[in-house]
Amino acid sequence: MMLTTSIFGLLVLASWCHSFDEEDETREIAKARVESCPGCKLYSLPEVNSFIFEDVPLYINVETEFISGAPPELVFLNANGEELERINLEKYSRKECNQLLRERGFMRPAKIVKAIVESCPRSKLSRLEELRDFIDDDVIIYNNVEVKFLDEVSSPELVLINEDGDEEDRVNLESLTREQCNDWLTDNGITLKMQEYYYEDVWRQSKEEL
């Protein structure tokens, strides 16, 4: 009799735990959806517009649904697709819209927006001819790339900075060729300046001659 009672108790406990787990899952945010008109109201909300068209596609488990006449809203859903929370975005800045997603666990790759070459003083670059040419002649043709000559630096490094101002990556340049240094910038999304004296096709040609 006691054995039967114990088994029954275990079954009840297991059932209760299973129900609790299911209930917990229904309350947990699993995905998000941005609902908005494709234009209309967005024309007067440039920051929300940028968030929807430029930032949202970068997030995992976040999609956009365009509904004619709908205000821009961020909808949070559970794993079953049931709505848990809805936020009107009209009063939010682009940064705040992104923060709403991040606070609820949604992630996206950070965009590289800047690069810094941390170099030893010029006098120590004489033994690194290709690197010296990269620093003196190539860096200037890129957007948002600067060079810092630091006495405490023994080996030049290239540092990538993301849109949050954090260091995203760092590479030692001493073992790289001039071409590899340039490739490392372009492969990470650093763009060339579109100035009349630096046509992109001319740069490509010079790169082939390296």
Is residue 18 domain-resident? no
Q: Domain ends where: 103, 132, 156? A: 103
Is residue 206 domain-resident? no
Asked if 118 and 71 sit in the same domain, the reply is: no
Among 25-29, 60-64, 128-132, 183-187, the range scoring the smallest mean pLDDT is 25-29
Asked if 174 and 130 sit in the same domain, the reply is: yes
Asked if 88 and 124 sit in the same domain, the reply is: no
Asked if 139 and 175 sit in the same domain, the reply is: yes
Is residue 194 domain-resident? no
Asked if 92 and 116 sit in the same domain, the reply is: no
Per-residue model confidence (pLDDT) at position 32:
98
pLDDT in tens, 135-176: 999 999 999 999 999 999 988 999 999 887 888 899 999 999
pLDDT in tens, 1-25: 454 556 655 555 555 555 545 556 6
Whole-structure pTM value: 0.52
How does residue 197 score in pLDDT terms, banded at 50, 70 and 90?
very low
Average pLDDT taken over every residue of the chain:
85
Asked if 93 and 39 sit in the same domain, the reply is: yes
CATH of residue 44's domain is 3.40.30.50
Is residue 15 domain-resident? no
Asked if 136 and 73 sit in the same domain, the reply is: no
Asked if 138 and 168 sit in the same domain, the reply is: yes
Domain count within the chain: 2
pLDDT in tens, 85-124: 999 999 999 999 999 999 999 988 778 889 999 999 988 8
DSSP 152-209: T-SS-EEEEEETTS-EEEEEE-TTS-HHHHHHHHHHTTPPBP--TTS-HHHHHHHHHT
Is residue 75 domain-resident? yes
Q: Is 156 exposed, middle or buried (0-12, 13-18, 19+ CB in 10 A)?
A: buried
Is residue 207 domain-resident? no
What is the extent of the structural domain holding 128? 112-188
DSSP the chain: -HHHHHHHHHHHHHHHHHHHHHHHHHHS--EEEEEE-SSGGGGG-HHHHHIIIIIGGGSTTEEEEE-TTPPPEEEEE-TTS-EEEEEE-TT--HHHHHHHHHHTT---PPPEEEEEEEE--GGG-TT-HHHHHIIIIIGGGBTTEEEEE-TT-SS-EEEEEETTS-EEEEEE-TTS-HHHHHHHHHHTTPPBP--TTS-HHHHHHHHHT-
Candidates 156, 148, 146, 153; CA nearest to 180 is 156
CA–CA gap between residue 186 and residue 204 (Å, rounded): 12
